Copies of this chain bind each other. A is one copy, B any other.
Amino acid sequence: MYLCVDMVTITDIAAALGITPSTVSRALAGSPRVKEETRLAVEKAAKEMGYERNVVASNLRRGRSNIVGIIVPRIHREFFSNIIGGAESVLNEAGYNVLICQTKESPEAEIKALKTLRNYRVAGVLLSHAIFDVNGDHIRKALGPDIPLVQFDRVFPDIPGAKIEGANCEGAYNATKHLIEAGYRRIGTIAGYMTAMLYVERLAGYKMALEDAGLPFDKSIVFYDSIVRETGYKAALSAIEAGCDALYCAGDFSALGAIDALREKGISVPDSFGVVGTANESFTSIMTPSISSLGQRPYEMGQEAAHAFLDGRTDTVVIPLDLHIRQSSNKNNKWQK
């Protein structure tokens, strides 16, 4: 155990200047209730003596900290790490620091994280909930009623407060419409877990696009599942079996798995089978065939979440998804590169 015995405090500065700690505190806080002359003296002394405010003491006294907690399922998922990066940039600029917690999709870990953040008296929490949450009732219960909460990406609509969402329904609509326009006719979907609203919305967009085009919505080619490579592979095998000629995948890794299956079966992508993924992970543009993907803007989403907190907003921001058309859905070279 170490002790920071050598830290300069406002009492030290006060003693050095022959004034009281209160005045020093006020001077450093930029209070108008202090003479210009004393302020300058204090600032000079603080600098010379190497003073740095003890944020722990300050936080205790004020009953709140300048920490913002961010809770994500997994830090090292490309999507979430970009969100964290964007949020940290904005928050740091505004004088906040970021405490990160990962739930690994476990509701229990989420509750623990929320309680921890509450114990730190964090100034706010940015949250993307665990996929295995059955609902959001535990969230305010664990966090308490007072700490501002911004939900992003995976949001519970019935929890009041700011929400930063992707335009999932619209995006999936556009992705599916694109497949239809490219000439595919029997389009299945790897839909993801229906425990998260965002997947429900993507499925709704998919369905709407089919309906608007006069195509039937066939439950047997909707694959509810996780969106990892392995599941995409299996779902694609079933989709082939079911006579599909395209898949809209609610994730890029499931799209990748689908392409694995199609390659294995000797089915040409995009000529005989179209694939669109979601998230615009970096590999989608690099691989061959490059994968068309419904891009999210995670860095921007993180920035937006941070701003929503900073501005004390409680509205919902919807961030568009961008459809990147690449080889995997480019039937008959319709969209020349």
Residues of B within 8 A of A216 (CB): none
A82 adjacent to B76 (CB under 8 Å): yes
Query: A1-36 interface mask toward B, CB cutoff 8 Å, 1 = contact, 0 = none?
Result: 111101000000000000000000000000000000
Give the contact stretch, choosing among A115-123, A151-159, A161-169, A187-195. Answer: A115-123
A63 adjacent to B299 (CB under 8 Å): no
Which residues of chain A (115-162) have a CB below 8 Å from chain B? 115-116, 118-121, 144, 146-147
A81 within 8 A of B: yes
B59 adjacent to A56 (CB under 8 Å): yes
Q: Which of B6, B100, B121, B286 contacts A4 (CB 8 A)?
A: B121
A208 within 8 A of B: no
A56 adjacent to B60 (CB under 8 Å): yes
Q: Which of B52, B75, B100 contacts A119 (CB 8 A)?
A: B52
Shortest C-beta distance, A4 to chain B (Å), equals 6
Residues of B within 8 A of A89 (CB): 102
A335 within 8 A of B: no
A2 to B56, CA, bound (A): 18
Shortest C-beta distance, A94 to chain B (Å), equals 13
B84 adjacent to A4 (CB under 8 Å): no
A120 adjacent to B56 (CB under 8 Å): yes
Q: What copy number does this chain have within its complex?
A: 2
Query: A246-280 interface mask toward B, CB cutoff 8 Å, 1 = contact, 0 = none?
Result: 00000000001000000000000000000000000
A67 within 8 A of B: yes
A88 within 8 A of B: yes
B88 adjacent to A102 (CB under 8 Å): yes
A187 to B324, CA, bound (A): 37
A102 adjacent to B76 (CB under 8 Å): no
Q: Which of B75, B88, B98 contacts A88 (CB 8 A)?
A: B75
Residues of B within 8 A of A85 (CB): 74-76, 102
Residues of B within 8 A of A6 (CB): 144
Residues of B within 8 A of A120 (CB): 55-56, 97
A54 within 8 A of B: yes
Shortest C-beta distance, A96 to chain B (Å), equals 10
> Which of A54, A82, A286, A299 counts the most chain B CB atoms within 10 A?
A286
Residues of B within 8 A of A146 (CB): 2-4
A194 to B122, CA, bound (A): 40
A213 within 8 A of B: no
Q: List 11 A-B contacts (CB under 8 A).
A: A2-B147, A3-B63, A3-B64, A4-B146, A54-B121, A56-B60, A76-B78, A76-B86, A97-B101, A286-B286, A287-B287
State the 3 A-B residue pairs at the shortest beta-carbon distance, nearest first: A81-B81, A76-B85, A288-B288
